[in-house]
Structure 1
Amino acid sequence: MSNQPSAQNTTLVLFHNDLRVADNATLSKAVSLSSNGQLLLVYAPSLTDDLYKKDNRQAYCYDMMGHARQRFLSESLTALDASLMQLGNRLLYLQDNLATSDTFTQLNELIQQQHVTDICVSQTADYDQNQVYKRLQAQNPQVCWHVQATATLFDKLPLDDLPKSFTAFRKKIESNYDLLQAKEDIVICPTLKSLPPMPETLQNSREYFFAVPTFDEPIFDELPRQLPDFKGGEPNGVEHLEAYFDSDAPSIYKTTRNALDDWTHSTKFSAWLANGSLSVNVVLNRLRRYERDIVANDSTYWIWFELLWREYFYWYAAAHQQKLFWFKGIAQHSPSTQFNQKRLVQWKNCTTPYPIVNACMHQLKNTGYMSNRGRQLVASCFIHELGLDWRYGATYFEQHLIDYDVASNWGNWQYLAGVGADPRGCRQFNLNKQAQQYDPNGGFIRKWQGEV
């Protein structure tokens, strides 16, 4: 449902995982709606907090976002605010400690006070976020809603139904849509040159203006801190994208992607893709250009392969909704694992009997990052060696990963727990064998103090 722009229009953009200006269909739609009106650009970080307390996730939700993830988000929002200011507007930031009311109440008050006529949001597979949108719509029936696709290769599920496995999904997509080999680049939104102004009543009020959140610096027992190359924000994401494809790394990606610690051995796009600082369409266009200009081989194909995994889990989360968080996932039977506080604490505190797992967990806690291979090893240990309820592991990753994405994170944990999109059931790794293969000299374990 939409309406024509008029002088009375006040359009609100509610940012979520679309923290960029370039190739942002949601922002472009809002500009078209408010060309003769006013534009509110809002970020509200804790809208879903009360939902955690009402559903069955209460038992395993976390109290505070991990330091590294919080810093990366803060950097991303700072960059977004700077970009919006250059275009003539700025970011409004709602947080609980601004007033006695929570952010959801504040957002409703802002909608009513500013007589918002249209709300623009990006399509999301985040079940909790979609519940917030439904509540907002119910409380503001006079407002027209506009939903745009900004996070996926396809605006909607490109198949009649979602296959039960990634392999079937990949084969159908590659058969029906030749995105990697297509002659023309994927069309992206035109670059915005300016933005309509925010309402005059807010221009001189600093109550809602974005300010970099402050938080205590943790003490890390002489371990490395956040990886220096992970800096949040659209400009940093674009800079990294170009630096990566200006190197030889894409041509050898398939042989290096399982490395545990080296910056150049995997693409590292995930962090900027996760909060929308980087467009997946821009990434794919850059990959296609590399294949045209430099080389197309198994490694460059594997980057496309990983982008398809991301796409699959998005539609998986959209299809299964709250089942993404159920103990039995989408399976017919619950797994045999259970909650055990002592073992959970061992895993979190990096004091399990498995040095490779402890090292990976130290890396996560201190930097907010863990390699794909490391994530599989610590999840396998969590589920099989420690016999723990997989949802607690998924939640810990949610708390700390700077590249946390609800679909990829929870979908992958279900996959490894045998309650998701894997026709072969549970996947268990031989941890000693994996350590010998991927850390033969023990350098990673020593660096991240994996020996208890």
Structure 2
Amino acid sequence: MSNQAANNLANENVTLVLFHNDLRVADNATLLKASEISIDGKLLLVYASSLTDILDDKDYYDAYRYEAMGQARQQFLHESLADLNTSLMQRGNRLLYLQKGDEALDVFTQLSDLIAQQRVTDICISQTADYNKNKVYDLMQAKYPEIQWHIHTTATLFDKLPLESLPKSFTQFRKKIESDYDLLHAEKDIAISPTPETLAPLPDNMLSRDEYFFESQLSSETEVNKTLKQTSNFTGGESNGLKHLDAYFCSDAPSTYKTTRNALDEWAHSTKFSAWLANGSLSVNTILNRLRRYERDIIGNDSTYWIWFELLWREYFYWYAVTHQQKLFWFKGIAQHAPSTQLIESLLAQWKNGTTQYPIVNACMNQLNATGYMSNRGRQLVASCFIHELGLDWRYGAAYFEQHLVDYDVGSNWGNWQYLAGVGADPRGCRQFNLDKQTQQYDPNGEFIREWQGNTQKSD
């Protein structure tokens, strides 16, 4: 680099956005802030895969962590990143993608090198409940104390925990929130961050660095798998999330949600917003405003209220993860005593492969393995079986869900597993479901079990 080029870099504002759980351009306070502070400078828009691999001293599930993201979740993520890249290119920039290859440096080192080479002056990130992601951010802030950090809220209804402390149960949380903040029926819609019309360009010396561009980083392994797409209705990305949002609220489904939400396999019987919410392709504010509009223009009833109820459930477990941090991954959770369960590899394999003696559980697991999705009712049944019938360490089930679910969310996943294992937010202790009774109630004719081959015994 010439001295003149170095001097120009030294005097120029270079802002870096580190995307994580905010893969969208609309209602994205982090991206908006970056566009504002980089208006006379340059802008780096980065997604760093496997950034937490740098943490050798993990305080959580190192012994039972998964080795590779499941195919369906990986596909949904790459569809989301491709959609984000398209939106960024329409605004004059593009997505940079960091991942560890066979011979590449770890992603933390790659990101550090990029920051140093481009003389980044500002870093913008979205607030997250991910304990290990926050540890990496702390390491980076310590490494670059001269860089200005900007942290914004993009994933929750509230910028910070709206109460003095987090109640011990969701019911207490819900009642307090509904008493103090009537977001569902407030006079004005929830405020939405404006979408930047244009973005500052990449630094000039990055324009020829094809190896950083998202399109160049994709391998053949991330191409759309035809078999997967035939079995899954989920397509990642903000544009697809908004299409689904419109289709859902243009139907009658919201008015019957409470009576259909426990169905095991029908697309329209639950909202299916969770996948786009999980990686931030849709904002919770956008969904809540559409729900409010539906109540104003169409109907407000127990079913539409229950959609709000589920958004609050998600909110509670976000702040649950923020509050309890590494305890989210402890065997005894936030409880005083550890559960009396253990790891038995043969039983774990049966559960994963859908070869237990419980057809409803097998069907749900086959559905998960094929599509990356399982209904809320199904998740409760397979988790209950995992903990109570099979007597397994709940953390291995939570880690398997993390590996495969297209709508994986750290707080919702690990918090709900703790809840069912009796080491979390449920004051009544662990919850066990009668699998025979549940099968009769939710699959009385065996249609779901036949569809997903729950009676088929396969070799492990």
TM-score by length of 1: 0.96
- 1:67 touches 1:400 (CA, 8 Å); kept in 2? yes
- 2:120 touches 2:147 (CA, 8 Å); kept in 1? yes
For residues 103 and 40 of structure 2, the distance between their equivalents in structure 1, rounded to whole angstroms, comes to: 32
- 1:119 touches 1:144 (CA, 8 Å); kept in 2? yes
Q: Deviations over 1:393-437 (max 9, x none)?
A: 000000000000000000000000000000000000000100010
For residues 289 and 390 of structure 1, the distance between their equivalents in structure 2, rounded to whole angstroms, comes to: 40
- 2:321 touches 2:411 (CA, 8 Å); kept in 1? yes
For residues 208 and 415 of structure 1, the distance between their equivalents in structure 2, rounded to whole angstroms, comes to: 41
**Secondary structure, counterpart of 1:381 in structure 2:** helix
- 1:45 touches 1:95 (CA, 8 Å); kept in 2? yes
Q: Identify the residue that residue 141 of structure 1 maps to in structure 2.
A: 145
Distance 1:368 1:194, change over 3 A: same
* Correspondence for 2:289 among 266, 280, 285: 285
**Secondary structure, counterpart of 2:214 in structure 1:** coil
**Structure 1 residue 225, shift from structure 2 partner:** 5.6
Q: Deviations over 1:362-403 (max 9, x none)?
A: 000000000000000000000000000000000000000000
For residues 406 and 208 of structure 2, the distance between their equivalents in structure 1, rounded to whole angstroms, comes to: 34
- 2:248 maps to a residue whose letter is Y
**Structure 1 residue 217, shift from structure 2 partner:** 8.4
Q: Identify the residue that residue 124 of structure 2 maps to in structure 1.
A: 120
Q: Identify the residue that residue 221 of structure 2 maps to in structure 1.
A: 215
**Secondary structure, counterpart of 1:145 in structure 2:** strand
Distance 1:208 1:329, change over 3 A: same
Count residues with an aligned counterpart.
445
Matched, 1:402 2:383: no
Q: Identify the residue that residue 308 of structure 1 maps to in structure 2.
A: 312
For residues 20 and 435 of structure 2, the distance between their equivalents in structure 1, rounded to whole angstroms, comes to: 37
Distance 1:331 1:22, change over 3 A: same
For residues 96 and 374 of structure 1, the distance between their equivalents in structure 2, rounded to whole angstroms, comes to: 34
Q: Identify the residue that residue 89 of structure 1 maps to in structure 2.
A: 93
Distance 1:194 1:117, change over 3 A: same
**Structure 1 residue 139, shift from structure 2 partner:** 1.0
Following superposition of structure 1 onto structure 2, how do residues 48-447 of structure 1 map, counting pairs within 5 Å? 48-51=52-55, 54-97=58-101, 100-211=104-215, 212-215=218-221, 227-447=231-451
Name whichever of 356-365 and 226-235 sits farther off: 226-235
For residues 450 and 85 of structure 2, the distance between their equivalents in structure 1, rounded to whole angstroms, comes to: 40
- 1:37 touches 1:196 (CA, 8 Å); kept in 2? yes
**Secondary structure, counterpart of 2:211 in structure 1:** coil
Q: Deviations over 1:165-185 (max 9, x none)?
A: 000000000000000000100
**Structure 1 residue 98, shift from structure 2 partner:** 7.8
**Structure 1 residue 50, shift from structure 2 partner:** 3.5
Q: Deviations over 1:87-131 (max 9, x none)?
A: 000000011118531110000000000000000000000001001
**Which 5+ residue runs of structure 2 have no aligned equivalent?**
1-9
Distance 1:225 1:189, change over 3 A: closer
Q: Deviations over 1:275-299 (max 9, x none)?
A: 0000100000000000000000000
**Structure 1 residue 203, shift from structure 2 partner:** 1.1
Distance 1:94 1:175, change over 3 A: same
Matched, 1:450 2:447: no
- 1:75 touches 1:232 (CA, 8 Å); kept in 2? yes
Distance 1:218 1:52, change over 3 A: farther
**Structure 1 residue 57, shift from structure 2 partner:** 1.5
- 1:19 maps to a residue whose letter is L
- 2:231 touches 2:370 (CA, 8 Å); kept in 1? no
Q: Deviations over 1:238-293 (max 9, x none)?
A: 00000000000000000000000000000000000000000100000000000000
Name whichever of 201-210 and 322-331 sits farther off: 201-210
**Structure 1 residue 152, shift from structure 2 partner:** 0.1
**Secondary structure, counterpart of 2:51 in structure 1:** coil
**Secondary structure, counterpart of 1:40 in structure 2:** strand
**Structure 1 residue 8, shift from structure 2 partner:** 1.7
For residues 158 and 56 of structure 2, the distance between their equivalents in structure 1, rounded to whole angstroms, comes to: 30
Same amino acid, percent of matched pairs? 71
Q: Deviations over 1:188-209 (max 9, x none)?
A: 0112110001100001220100
- 2:12 maps to a residue whose letter is Q
- 2:221 maps to a residue whose letter is F
For residues 75 and 320 of structure 2, the distance between their equivalents in structure 1, rounded to whole angstroms, comes to: 29
For residues 334 and 71 of structure 2, the distance between their equivalents in structure 1, rounded to whole angstroms, comes to: 32
Name whichever of 96-105 and 417-426 sits farther off: 96-105
Q: Deviations over 1:115-150 (max 9, x none)?
A: 000000000000010011011111111111110000
- 1:39 maps to a residue whose letter is L
For residues 219 and 288 of structure 1, the distance between their equivalents in structure 2, rounded to whole angstroms, comes to: 37
